[in-house]
């Protein structure tokens, strides 16, 4: 688990290296997605502290305090920044994945996206159109992002299967159980 200040610096620096500008609200949503995917993949929280359900989506209070002075402006990239040595390849991979998937989306688009997701919706009262501001349970975040990973894998598999179907892939008969069977089958295929 990484202290929120260190993690947010990593995320801002990695985004800047990819040419992605990040304002405080966008940083919150990207940090939340990194946290959620890390929780789903490893079973462990990524960022120390908890995310709360706020009107514009999940917010980490410590990250909010650290960057609120930037308002709606882009947070400047840290100068002479180096990746801390204790950051795992898994964490770097998740950050890069989140930046590739969501980094080009605007803060408001990300906010609206989180408003359609179950962890935030569990804190929203549609009658009064208010959100309770409470901490979002790690179990809720983990469950949601595990589902997202399964959906992504299913989508990827479907694309592979569609591609195979389009290229007229030939299937081997189930009777082939040895190299000799395979060789005989190949020799007898009519082209």
- Residue-wise pLDDT tens digits, 27-69: 999 999 999 999 999 999 999 999 999 999 999 999 999 999 9
Q: What per-residue confidence (pLDDT) applies to 190?
A: 60
Mean local confidence (pLDDT), 173-183: 75
* DSSP secondary structure, 81-129, as one string: ----TT--HHHHHHHHHHHHHHTTS-HHHHHHHHTTSHHHHTTEETTTT
- Residue-wise pLDDT tens digits, 126-174: 999 999 999 999 999 999 999 998 887 777 656 665 665 565 555 667 7
- Residue-wise pLDDT tens digits, 85-106: 889 999 999 999 999 999 999 9
Query: What pTM value is reported for the model?
Result: 0.81
Q: What per-residue confidence (pLDDT) applies to 170?
A: 56
* DSSP secondary structure, the chain, as one string: -B-HHHHHHHHHHHHHHTT----HHHHHHHHHHHHHHHHHHHSS-SBSS--EEETTEEE-HHHHHHHGGGTTSPPPPPTT----TT--HHHHHHHHHHHHHHTTS-HHHHHHHHTTSHHHHTTEETTTTEE--PBPPHHHHHHHHHHHHHHHHHHHHHHHHHHHHHTTPPPPPTT--SHHHHHHHHHT---
Which residues, at least 6 apart from 36, have a Cβ–Cβ distance to it below 8 Å? 119, 141, 142, 144, 145, 148
């Amino acid at each position: 688990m990484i202290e929120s200040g260190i993690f947010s610096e990593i995320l801002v620096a990695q985004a800047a290296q990819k040419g992605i500008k990040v304002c405080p609200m966008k940083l919150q949503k990207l940090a939340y997605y990194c946290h959620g995917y890390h929780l789903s993949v490893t079973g462990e929280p990524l960022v120390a502290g908890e995310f709360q359900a706020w009107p514009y989506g999940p917010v980490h209070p410590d990250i909010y305090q650290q960057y609120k002075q930037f308002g709606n402006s882009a947070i400047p990239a840290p100068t002479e920044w180096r990746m801390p040595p204790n950051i795992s390849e898994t964490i770097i991979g998740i950050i890069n994945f989140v930046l590739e998937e969501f980094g080009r989306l605007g803060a408001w688009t990300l906010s609206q996206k989180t408003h359609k997701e179950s962890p935030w919706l569990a804190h929203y009262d549609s009658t009064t159109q208010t959100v309770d501001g409470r901490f979002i349970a790690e179990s809720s975040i983990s469950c949601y992002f595990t589902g997202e990973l399964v959906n992504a894998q299913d989508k990827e598999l479907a694309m592979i299967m569609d591609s195979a179907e389009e290229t007229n892939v030939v299937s081997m008969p189930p009777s082939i159980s040895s190299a000799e069977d395979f060789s005989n089958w190949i020799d007898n295929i009519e082209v």
